């Protein structure tokens, strides 16, 4: 089995692969305050509920955009699974040429998503990851990562709206019944949802125009399903794209 970990700014997602199959996955909140022992105990508890022992694993791989948590979680894997984890970063083979000004500054999550998407589709792609930030990444038909766009995520936008205004509340993310809200809550929900949807469509269309051709659009991340059903520009939702990419990268480097 392979133990895969995606450490994001908001959530940590763990996936367990047995052969080619993702047999189990968990999602919990990212915390910079947690110690390696706290993460280790949590991991061991999750595995034991499924009857999985540390001896069942032949490797572990991590993608992280939170450096302080990377070290804590790596130590947890060493101490509680007796595995030296592979951490995606400079020096790790991905098989994906990165054609940007500074390849080292591209987030590992964006590269891992691109690796998995291109391996599966073998065509030009736009990968949209709806996370804490919303990222739009373009991979050309030759399998080269050429760059993309980064925008605030929907959750960040909702938080900013309530925190930076005196009278506006924190609203639940979701599709409103109407675009013309009859009260403050409905108006905020409509503005956030349809504003975000319009941004998503607009950036996808501009990338397509600039890149040329007809790239396939793959969506992933927490709210991908909510947005995907509202637009014809997203061709497919792949919830566990990054976990699959981590497994691919692990196999490329052993």
Answer yes or no: 6 catalytic. no
Q: Which residues have C-beta within 8 Å of that of residue 211, sequence separation ≥ 6?
A: 124, 126, 138, 140, 146
Q: In 3-state terms, what secondary structure has residue 217?
A: strand
Tell me 84's DSSP state: -
Q: How far apart are the first and last CA of the chain?
A: 14
* Per annotation, catalytic residue among 109, 129, 137, 238: 109
Rounded (5°) CA angle 71-77-81: 165
Nearest-angstrom CA–CA distance, 123 and 125: 6
Tokens standing for 6?
């995606």
Q: 82: buried, middle or exposed (CB in 10 Å: 19+, 13-18, 0-12)? A: exposed
> Can you give the C-alpha Rg of the chain in angstroms?
19
Kindly state the tokens that stand for 76. Answer: 């947890």
- Please identify every residue annotated as catalytic: 109
């Amino acid at each position: 089995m392979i133990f895969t970990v995606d450490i994001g700014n908001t959530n940590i997602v763990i996936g367990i692969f047995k052969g080619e199959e993702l047999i189990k996955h968990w999602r919990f909140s990212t915390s910079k305050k947690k110690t390696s022992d706290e993460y280790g105990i949590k991991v061991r508890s999750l595995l034991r509920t499924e009857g999985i022992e540390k001896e069942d694993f032949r490797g572990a791989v991590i993608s992280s955009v939170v450096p302080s948590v990377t070290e804590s979680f790596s130590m947890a894997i060493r101490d509680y699974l007796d595995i030296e984890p592979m951490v995606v970063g400079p020096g790790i083979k991905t098989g994906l040429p990165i054609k940007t000004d500074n390849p080292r500054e591209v987030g590992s999550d964006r590269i891992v998503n691109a690796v998995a998407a291109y391996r599966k589709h073998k065509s030009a792609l736009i990968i949209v990851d709806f996370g804490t930030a919303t990222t739009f990444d373009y991979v050309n038909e030759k399998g080269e990562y050429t760059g993309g766009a980064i925008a605030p995520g929907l959750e960040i936008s909702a938080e900013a709206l309530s925190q930076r205004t005196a009278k506006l509340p924190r609203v639940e993310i979701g599709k409103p019944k109407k675009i013309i809200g009859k009260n403050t809550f409905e108006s905020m929900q409509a503005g956030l949802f349809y504003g975000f949807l319009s941004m998503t469509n607009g950036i996808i269309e501009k990338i397509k125009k600039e890149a040329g051709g007809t790239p396939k659009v793959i969506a992933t991340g927490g709210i991908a399903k909510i947005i995907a059903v509202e637009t014809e520009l997203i061709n497919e939702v792949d919830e566990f794209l990054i976990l699959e990419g981590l497994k691919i990268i692990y196999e490329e480097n052993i």
